[in-house]
Structure 1
């Protein structure tokens, strides 16, 4: 199984239509494609941890979602409920995006090529101060927590929230 990350920015004018095209592309290439709002991602370790935990839950039969992409979103969002996990998903308008593509190597590569043609490449995965407000809100990080550990620890606080998804079942 090959996992690829595609990052960039794009403009989505009609979310339902765009998600339909993503679904068709995933079917065509026999891969899973999960889109995430990159402005709510605190770096590669955050994504890697969510993917690893989601795959483990699918393997162990402890998954909540039937779809691996949605299960990844649950962990990445720090939310237990599937409905709440979509808070980290794609939205209409201009946005920074991260696509997670999962499939065999050849299929994943061809899906990545298809996705790359529809987005403007940009490095949007790493944590930066411009993401602070969205991430603090997404993960319910309190002012007291930030006072105690400092803003530079936000990525670590996010990893803690990802880990707690399992604990708070």
Structure 2
């Protein structure tokens, strides 16, 4: 799995999603773009990929598309329409683009192709800082829970990803 932290300027979301799908097919990888505000850290997305692949291998996946299944796990939700809030939208977005395939070469080629898209503005660190309020609201992490544990917010978000596996 490789990530590119960046800024995107998306004119038309359906066209952008189709472009990502085409690039994924061309390079034999899965590509998913996330609004960086909802990504706790790299490990958050690694766990989402692990659980999505496990669900697919077991025939327990909700989505037909692997990229959407990864989004569901990353969002900690089984409803696709609710999970889509974690994806990018039209306009300017600080983003994290995930590329996952069987080879580093395919992933690297796909990342380069993503950077060549019109919507790609620039590489920009997006995972260095967290929007704590946004993460807590999106993943339903109340203040009381944060105060009752030594776990980091990232760890609590990853717990939500893992709980989705248990709750199905």
CA distances 1:64-88 after superposition (whole Å, capped 9, x unpaired): 2121111111110011222221121
Aligned partners of 2:146 and 2:127: how far apart in 1? Answer: 22
Quote the residue 1:12 is aligned against.
10
Counting only pairs closer than 5 Å after superposition, residues 3-82 of structure 1 correspond to structure 2 as 3-82=1-80
TM-score by length of 2: 0.87
CA distances 1:22-69 after superposition (whole Å, capped 9, x unpaired): 222223323221111111011111111111111111112221212111
SS at match of 2:37: helix
SS at match of 1:84: helix
The offset of 1:114, in angstroms, is 1.1
Q: Which runs of 5+ in 1 are unaligned?
A: none
Q: Which runs of 5+ in 2 are unaligned?
A: none
Counting only pairs closer than 5 Å after superposition, residues 94-113 of structure 1 correspond to structure 2 as 94-105=92-103, 106-113=105-112
Quote the residue 1:93 is aligned against.
91
Aligned partners of 1:143 and 1:104: how far apart in 2? Answer: 40
Pair 1:148 & 2:148 matched: yes
Structure 1 stretches of 4+ with a deviation exceeding 3 A read none
Pair 1:115 & 2:114 matched: yes
Aligned partners of 1:144 and 1:162: how far apart in 2? Answer: 20
Asked if 2 retains the 8 angstrom alpha-carbon contact of 1:80 and 1:168, the reply is no
Figure out how many residues of one structure are paired with residues of the other and give that number: 164
